[in-house]
Amino acid sequence: MDHVLARSIRITAGLISGVAFFLILKKEYLWAAGVALGTLWSIVNFWLLSRILNIGILRRKPAQLPFFLTLKFPILYGIGFFILSMRIFPVGSLLVGVSSLFLMTAAFLLCPCIGISKMKFRYNHRGFGGLWAIPQGVTAEECDEEEHSGAPEGR
């Protein structure tokens, strides 16, 4: 799970940097800062959650659990409440920033075309008009066989 989180953080940080740059070009400085701040808060939140789960489930360094719990719940959530209560940044920008990491992580876990699965997506050359999952190592000629095409039965 740590590799999924690390990859999600890297890609989310890159995408949000691009979004923030675009918003700065449009002179939406508070939106750019809100999106970046929401993403940073979400990254810290996910990282702390992964540390807590590693300690709790895998029993690695259990003496550190109170430290991470204290850091996550009263401190990080208190900072989030303070940011919202200041009303400097638009709430929508903070929501976009916070949800961006959730969406990227969900994409990595649910979509095999991003690279987490051992499947890759290739256009089905027989004309079914869509993308079908084909196991890696299967050639295009082998796709003529129904069991490898990924096409639903009866088409």
The DSSP string of 63-87 is GGHHHHHHIIIIIIHHHHHHHHHHT
Average pLDDT over residues 138-154: 46
Residues 87 and 141 in one domain: no
Per residue in 70-124, pLDDT (tens digit) is 999 999 999 999 999 999 999 999 999 999 999 988 877 776 555 544 433 344 4
Residues 137 and 64 in one domain: no
Distance between CA atoms of residues 50 and 135, nearest Å: 31
Residues 89 and 129 in one domain: no
Distance between CA atoms of residues 6 and 116, nearest Å: 13
In a domain, 12, yes or no: yes
Report residue 110 as tokens: 């649910």
Split into its structural domains, the chain has a count of 2
**DSSP H or E stretch at residue 122:** strand 119-123
Residues 123 and 110 in one domain: no
